[in-house]
Amino acid sequence: MKDVSQSGTDRMLDLAMSLPEQIEQAARTACSANIGRPGRFDAVAVAGMGGSGIGAKIAQGLLLDECQLPVYVCSDYDIPAAPSAKTLFVAVSYSGNTEETLSAYAQARRRGCRIIAITSGGELGRSAAMAGYPVIGVPGGMPPRAALGHLFATLLVSLERLGVCESQQRGLEEAVRLMRSRRKSWLVRARTIAKHIDGRLPIVYSTSRMLDAVADRWRCQFNENAGVLCHTNLLPEHNHNEIVGMGRPRHPGRNAVVIALLDRETHPRTRYRLESVLDITEEAYYLAMQIESKGRSRLARIFSLVMLGDFVSVELARLAGKDAMEINRIDELKRRMAQKRG
Ligand code: F6R
């Protein structure tokens, strides 16, 4: 039975802990969902904002080296010029009511794309069902960012079933096993990391294309769960610009905590670049951490870092005395946007 006295932050931690179970459940649902036959597509375009878009970005990073088709992630009102009648378009909105995603979806309909929707309901669920597009449901009642396992695995298994990529089953299974067996120890590690970051500016660096979306996930979770600003950038690109700006203006230079995310696919020269950057800019940060992904498959490695980052964000919320569920500013903004339309 659910503990009624449970705080929002405890609830968020429970949801973060449930990432492997979410993936497992969603993969099963998506396997049996009626999504039609595989197609010969010229591209894949996925529309989604915030917590609904990040799963698409993670899938994009995962498939970059596996999939022959370009995968676009649309996080705006308008979709790019490329999607055509031969494009698979996936609209992902947890609530089903996000106006940018609904606008992108309407454009994809006009272009004649093959469409599927992933949502817990709302306007997207209604409209797609009415139009006869496959709608794959995810369970409601969660903050969208805490439903990443559902949204991501539903998307990935759908792409696999529609012939966009090879089977992802082994990777998903390994990711689930790894998270289940390591989540308690990762939480302990997350508490230590959060203590170092508390009261400082986290700067998260990705060191491989596959990890770019993972760094993004860390930033979004720091923003929404912990209510703090977070900066992200990508190596090696960082070395050609940001290295000069690090720690300037002077305040709050020494207040930054650098978190570099690394993976076995990180280029050996990028590792050397990172070491050199941390050495050259030593006066620009308070502390630098290098965090290696764990696991064998790319999926397991991605989710080892996603889960750790989610835990750090929740523990950071706890230290800051913020309710990790509370995102009043997003709610207020959505209210204002709805009023303006009406
Ligand atoms: C809230 C969250 C937000 C939403 C975003 C889009 O937990 O993570 O970033 O995901 O505002 O809303 P949905 O996901 O309903 O399309």
49 within ligand 1 shell (Cβ under 6 A): yes
Ligand 1 centre from 13 Cα, in Å? 18
Q: Which band of pLDDT confidence, cut at 50, 70 and 90, is reported for residue 150?
A: very high
Q: What is the pLDDT of residue 2?
A: 46
Question: How many Cα atoms sit within 13 Å of 212 on the Cβ side?
Answer: 17
> Which helix (H) or strand (E) covers residue 261, if one does?
strand 256-262
Q: In angstroms, rounded to a whole number, what is the distance separating the alpha carbons of residues 305 and 61?
A: 14
Q: What is the mean pLDDT of residues 14-41?
A: 97
- As a whole number of angstroms, the distance between CA 85 and CA 76 comes to 20
> Which tens digits make up the pLDDT trace of 11-21?
999 999 999 99
Q: Which residues of 300-313 are buried (b: 16+ CB within 10 A; e: fewer)?
A: bbbbbbbbbbbbbb
For the stretch 185-204, pLDDT in tens is 999 999 999 999 999 999 99
Share of the chain above pLDDT 90, in %: 95
Task: Return the pLDDT at 138.
Answer: 98
What average pLDDT does range 40-65 have in this prediction? Answer: 97
Would you say the CB of residue 83 lies under 6 angstroms from ligand 1? no
Q: What is the pLDDT of residues 96-138, one digit of tens each?
A: 999 999 999 999 999 999 999 999 999 999 999 999 999 999 9
- Predicted confidence at residue 6, as pLDDT, reads 77
Does residue 253 surpass a pLDDT of 90? no
Please give the angle made by the CA atoms of 266, 47 and 224, to the nearest 5 degrees. 70
Question: Which DSSP string corresponds to 70-91?
Answer: -EEEE-SSS--S---TTEEEEE
For range 308-328, the mean pLDDT: 97
Could you list the active site residues? Answer: 224, 240, 334
Does the pLDDT of residue 274 top 60, yes or no? yes
- Ligand 1 center to 145 CA (angstroms): 6
Is the distance from the beta carbon of residue 95 to the nearest atom of ligand 1 less than 6 Å? yes
* CA 77 and chain centroid, separation: 19
143 touches ligand 1 (CB under 6 Å): yes
> Cα 274 to the chain's mean position, in Å?
24
Query: 225 CB under 6 A from ligand 1?
Result: no
What the block records as the tokens of 76 is 């705006």
Question: What is the residue whose two structure tokens read 């454009």?
Answer: 107
**For tokens 């903004």, what's the residue?**
333
**Of all protein residues, whose CA lies closest to atom 15 belonging to ligand 1?**
95
Q: Is 295 in the pocket of ligand 1 (CB under 6 A)?
A: no
Q: Does residue 306 sit in helix, strand or coil? A: helix
What pLDDT sits at residue 172? 98
Residue 289: pLDDT band (50, 70, 90) is very high
Annotate 241-310 with DSSP letters as a single string.
THHHHTT-SHHHHTTEEEEEEE-TTS-HHHHHHHHHHHHHTGGG-SEEEEEE--SSSHHHHHHHHHHHHH
Going by C-beta distance under 8 Å and a sequence separation of 6 or more, which residues neighbour residue 102? Answer: 91, 93, 123, 124, 127
Alpha carbon separation from 257 to 24, 65, 246, 309 (Å, rounded)? 34, 31, 11, 14
What pLDDT does residue 20 have?
98
Please give the pLDDT value at position 45. 98
Tell the residue nearest (CA) to atom 5 of ligand 1. Answer: 50
Cα separation, 227 vs 197, whole angstroms: 13
- pLDDT above 50: residue 144: yes
Residue 250: the pLDDT is: 75
Average pLDDT, the chain: 96
Q: Which two tokens stand for residue 188?
A: 């302990």
Q: Ligand 1 centre and the CA of 49: distance in Å?
A: 6
Q: What is the pLDDT of residue 252?
A: 57
Distance 52 CA to ligand 1 centre (A): 6
What is the pLDDT at residue 251? 63
